[in-house]
Amino acid sequence: MARLIRTEKEVEGRYEEVWLVVDEDALDQWPAGPREVVGRPATRVTGPLRARGEARYTADLRLPGMLHATVLRSPHAHARVNRVDLSRALAAPGVRAAIGPGEAHVLVDEVGFQGEAVVAVAADSYAEARAALELVDVDWELLDPLLDPDDAVRRGQVVTEPSRYERGDVDAALAQADVVVEAEYRTQTVLHNSLETHQAVCEWRGDSLDVHISTQFIWGIRDEVASKLGLPPDQVRVVCEFMGGGFGAKNGAGDYTFIAAELARRTGRPVRCMLTRREENVASGNRNATIQRLTAGARSDGTLVALAGEFVNATGWSGWPAPTDGPMKTLYDCENVRTVLSCAKINTPPMQAFRAPGYVEGTFGLECLLDEVAAKLDIDPLELRRLNYAHEADERPFSSKNLMECYRRAEPHWRRRDEVRARSEGPWKRGVGLASQVWYGGGGPPSYAWVRVGSDGRATVVTAMQDIGTGTATAMTQIAAEELGLPIDRVGLVLGDSARGPYASISAGSSTTPSMGPAVRSAAADAARQIVGIAAQRYDKEERILSLEGGRIVSADGGSWPLEEVVGLLEDAQILGKGARGPNPAGMQVLTFGVQVAEVAVDVETGEVRVERVAAIHDVGRVVNPLGASSQVEGGIIQGIGHTLSEERLLDPETGIVLTQTLDAYRLPTIADTPEIVAELLDIPDEHLTNLGSKGLGEPPIVPTAAAIANAIRDATGADVRSLPITREEMLRALRDAHEREGRPEKVGARTA
C-alpha cells in the first residue's frame, strides 16, 4: 500500500527533504551470491542492435517533413547584443523560420560565455540552415570577461554563497599536530564529449509536444519542458530509446530542445536541433576546474587530527556547487575538519554534472595530501588509510561499508611495489600508488515498473527509463527473469518513452540500478504471485507450495508443469504485475566505497607518463551483472586516465575563447592509452537497502583514478604532481621541484627519489 512520508532524497550528494509517496518493499532480499540469472554474466540485451547499426539513436531519427535548426552562438565570452537583423537569413534558400533574443527563453541578448545561444534558424536542409547563420547580422558590444576564479571569489562574484562546514577545532588541532602538510592542488576543466552530441527533435501534435532527445532523464525533460512552455506535463511526451553517452551532461533539456520546440511551433513541422562537435566542446557543459588549498595535521603515530580545505570551483556563468569538499568531510575518521567551498561565477561555459562531480576533483586533492602526510611520517600509505578508517559516520550510520575489505583485497596489488620499482630502467622510473573512493550511489524512490506475461509464457518489463549505455536494460531484464524463474531470453524490456511506461529514475548519480532494480523485482514478484494463484487453481494445489523455476511451475510435493501450460489458459488475457521502489533506509547514509592501485612508468627525461596497470576494488552492494559491471569499471578508469594525463579544455586567458574545440585538440584516451585493468567487486548485498541490496556503479570507478596515478608518480620519482592534467610540462616541473628540494627534507611534501 502507498504511504506518504517526509524523507530526504539524495542526488549526487545533494540531500533535499521532500514529501514522498512510497510503496512498501515487502520482498526479502535474495541470499548473497550468484542466483540463476542475477549475479551471473549476461551479454547486453541491446548489444546486437547496437553492434549491427540497427539501434536508432536520436541522431538517426528522420521524421517526414523534418527541418534542421542551427544556432548562432556567441563568439565572445562576454558581450551585449545591441541589434539583431534576421532579414537576410530569412530570405536565404530553404529557410523556414529564424528566431532571435527573447523569442525562445534560451536565446539571450547579453551573453556570459562563448557559446551562449543568440539566434536560431530552421531550414529544409542542415547545409541551408548552416549557410543562413552567416547572413544573420548582429551588432555586438564587447564587455570585459572575468575569467580568474580566485579574482571572482574575492570580488564576491559567485554562483551561490560559499558553503562552510566545521567539526571540532581545526586550529587547535593543527597547533598540536606533530606534522602539518599544506599543499595546493588544481584540477582542470574537462569535457564530457559523448560521441552522440546533444540533440533533440521536436514535433507538435496539436497542443501536445513530442520530444525525441538524447537524454539521461526522460521524466526530468518532460517536467522541465512542460514547466518552461507552460504545458501540462502529460502534453509533453519524451522519447529516448537508444542514447549515445551522457556522463552527466544530458540531465537537462538544454537550449537545443527549446529552440527545436519553438521553431517547430512556428513552422508546423518537426525540427531537429543537433549540436556540432565544436558546439559540444563549448556549450554543452563541463567538469569545472578547481583550486584546492588543503592542510592536514597528523600525530607521529599516523592519526589524522585535522583536515582543512579552501575549495574554489570555477563554476562558470551558471551551475551548482559540485561538492569538491565532500571527500574531506566523509572519507576519514578525523575529529577536526573545516571546509569552505566557493563557486566562482566567471565568463566561461557553465558546468554540468560529470561522473561523480566534485568527488573526482576532491578525491584527487585529498588522497594526494594523504600520501604527502604518509611520506612525511614515513608510514605506508595503505596503513595510514586503515589507521584513520571511518567506522562510524557522524549523525548518520552507513547502510553498509566494506572499505576495509576492499583494502584487504588491495594488498596483493599493493605488494607488487618492490617488484614494480625494480623494473625501473634508464630514464623510466616505475612506481605504485593507491587512492580510496567514497561516493553516493544509493538511488531512491520514486520509480516504477510493470511486468506483462502473456499466454506464450514470455514476460515483458515495461518502464519509461533510459539506458544510457551503462547496461541497465540488461540488469533489469536479469532481475525480472530471476524473479519469474525464466531464462533471460524469455524476458523482454520496453523502455525509453514517457507515453509507454511509468515514471522511472534519472540515470545520474549512479542511481538507475538501485532505483529501478527493486521496482522491476517487485513488479515481477507481483506477476509471479498471480501466476502461482492461477496454477494453484488449475492443478488444485496450495499456493504456498508452488514456485516458478526454470520456466516451470514447481510444486514442493513433486509435480511440475511448463509455465506456458498455465499461462496458455489465458489466450488473449495477460497477467500484469506492477512494482514500485520502496524508501531508502531512514536516517542512514547509503554510500559506495573502493580503492584503486595504479602502476606507472615515468620517463624522467621527457616527462612522459604511462599508466601500466590499475587494480580496482569497489564495494557497490550486490552485483547484478558481473560482465557489464567490469565494463563500467574499465570505462570509468579509462576516463579517469584521460582526466589525469591528457584531457584539458584550454581557454584563451585574455578573451575566454575555448581553444580546444575539436577531438584532435581535446585529447580523449585511445585504445593505445589503455593499461591492464583488474576489476574486482565485493558483491556483498547491502542488507538495509531495498529488496535488491544493490548500489550504483556508474561513477565510483572514476573517483580515485587520478589520485592513485599521481601517488604512483610520487612513488616512482619522488615528485609531487599537484595539478591536472599531468602533461609532460607539469611532470618535468614537478621533477625539477623535487630536485631543488633534495637535501632539504624538512620542506612540505618532501620525499626525494
Partner 1 sequence: MLELKINGGSYEVEAPVGRTLVETLRDGLGLTGTKVACGEGHCGACTVLLDGVPVYSCITLVHTVGEREVTTIEGLREHPLVDSFVRADALQCGFCTPGQIVTASALVEASPEPSREEIRHAMVGNLCRCGAYPKIEEAILAWRG
State the minimum distance, in angstroms, from the CB of residue 84 to partner 1.
27
Q: Which residues pair with 450 in a beta bridge?
A: 462, 578
Neighbours of 59 (CB within 10 A): 16
State the minimum distance, in angstroms, from the CB of residue 448 to partner 1.
25
State the minimum distance, in angstroms, from the CB of residue 267 to partner 1.
19
Residue with cell 520496453: 494
435 closest CA partner among 629, 705, 748 = 705
State the minimum distance, in angstroms, from the CB of residue 441 to partner 1.
18
Q: Which is nearer to partner 1, 340 or 627 (CB)?
A: 627
Burial 377-386 (b: 16+ CB within 10 A, else e): bebebbebbe
Q: Which is nearer to partner 1, 45 or 375 (CB)?
A: 45
Q: Which is nearer to partner 1, 215 or 347 (CB)?
A: 215
Single-letter residue type at 349:
P
Continuous segment of H or E residues that includes residue 525: helix 512-539
State the minimum distance, in angstroms, from the CB of residue 307 to partner 1.
32
Strands (E) across 110-223 are located at: 110-111, 117-123, 137-142, 163-167, 179-187, 199-205, 208-213
C-alpha cell at 514: 538501485
Q: Which is nearer to partner 1, 68 or 329 (CB)?
A: 68
Beta carbons of 199 and 59 less than 8 angstroms apart: yes
Q: Which is nearer to partner 1, 277 or 416 (CB)?
A: 277
Which residues lie closer than 8 Å to 468 by C-beta, 6 or more apart? 216, 243, 245, 246, 250, 507
Single-letter residue type at 631:
S
Beta carbons of 480 and 523 less than 8 angstroms apart: yes
Q: Which is nearer to partner 1, 16 or 662 (CB)?
A: 662
State the minimum distance, in angstroms, from the CB of residue 644 to partner 1.
13
Q: Which is nearer to partner 1, 107 or 200 (CB)?
A: 200
State the minimum distance, in angstroms, from the CB of residue 99 to partner 1.
24
State the minimum distance, in angstroms, from the CB of residue 280 to partner 1.
9
State the minimum distance, in angstroms, from the CB of residue 663 to partner 1.
4
Single-letter residue type at 346:
I
Burial of residue 160 (CB within 10 Å: 0-12, 13-18, 19+) is middle
403 closest CA partner among 620, 712, 599, 685 = 620
State the minimum distance, in angstroms, from the CB of residue 51 to partner 1.
5
State the minimum distance, in angstroms, from the CB of residue 242 to partner 1.
7
Task: Tell me the backbone φ, ψ of residue 158, rounded to 5 degrees.
Answer: -130, 155
Q: Which is nearer to partner 1, 246 or 441 (CB)?
A: 246
Which residues contribute to the site for partner 1 (CB under 8 A)? 43-44, 46-48, 50-57, 59-60, 62, 192-197, 242-245, 247, 276-277, 468-471, 627-628, 630-632, 634-639, 662-664, 668-672, 674, 677
State the minimum distance, in angstroms, from the CB of residue 59 to partner 1.
7
Q: Which is nearer to partner 1, 280 or 310 (CB)?
A: 280
| CA gap 224, 260 in Å, rounded | 15
Neighbours of 366 (CB within 10 A): 28
| CA gap 78, 272 in Å, rounded | 28
Q: Which is nearer to partner 1, 648 or 720 (CB)?
A: 648
| CA gap 744, 734 in Å, rounded | 16
Beta carbons of 506 and 11 less than 8 angstroms apart: yes
Q: Which is nearer to partner 1, 67 or 451 (CB)?
A: 67
240 closest CA partner among 208, 204, 196, 207 = 196
SS3 529: helix
Q: Which is nearer to partner 1, 59 or 570 (CB)?
A: 59
Burial of residue 327 (CB within 10 Å: 0-12, 13-18, 19+) is buried
The shares of helix, strand and coil residues in the chain, as percent rounded to the nearest 5, are 30, 25, 40
State the minimum distance, in angstroms, from the CB of residue 347 to partner 1.
26
State the minimum distance, in angstroms, from the CB of residue 197 to partner 1.
7
Beta carbons of 355 and 638 less than 8 angstroms apart: no
Q: Which is nearer to partner 1, 301 or 664 (CB)?
A: 664
Beta carbons of 359 and 703 less than 8 angstroms apart: yes
State the minimum distance, in angstroms, from the CB of residue 677 to partner 1.
6
C-alpha cell at 586: 531512514
400 closest CA partner among 29, 27, 9 = 29
669 closest CA partner among 611, 613, 721, 614 = 611
Question: Residue by residue, what is the 3-state secondary structure of 568-588?
Answer: HHHCCCCEEEEEECCCCCCCC
State the minimum distance, in angstroms, from the CB of residue 238 to partner 1.
18
State the minimum distance, in angstroms, from the CB of residue 141 to partner 1.
32
State the minimum distance, in angstroms, from the CB of residue 465 to partner 1.
15
Single-letter residue type at 256:
Y
Q: Which residues pair with 609 in a beta bridge?
A: 602
Q: Which is nearer to partner 1, 1 or 672 (CB)?
A: 672
C-alpha cell at 455: 499466454
Burial of residue 540 (CB within 10 Å: 0-12, 13-18, 19+) is exposed
Tell me the Cα Rg of the chain.
27
C-alpha cell at 103: 523569442
Q: Got the DSSP string for 15-64? A: EEEEEEEEE---PPPPPSS--SSTTS----TTHHHHHTT---BGGG---T
323 closest CA partner among 357, 352, 292, 351 = 357
Q: Which is nearer to partner 1, 399 or 639 (CB)?
A: 639
Q: Which is nearer to partner 1, 243 or 491 (CB)?
A: 243
Q: Which is nearer to partner 1, 583 or 635 (CB)?
A: 635
Q: Which is nearer to partner 1, 444 or 469 (CB)?
A: 469
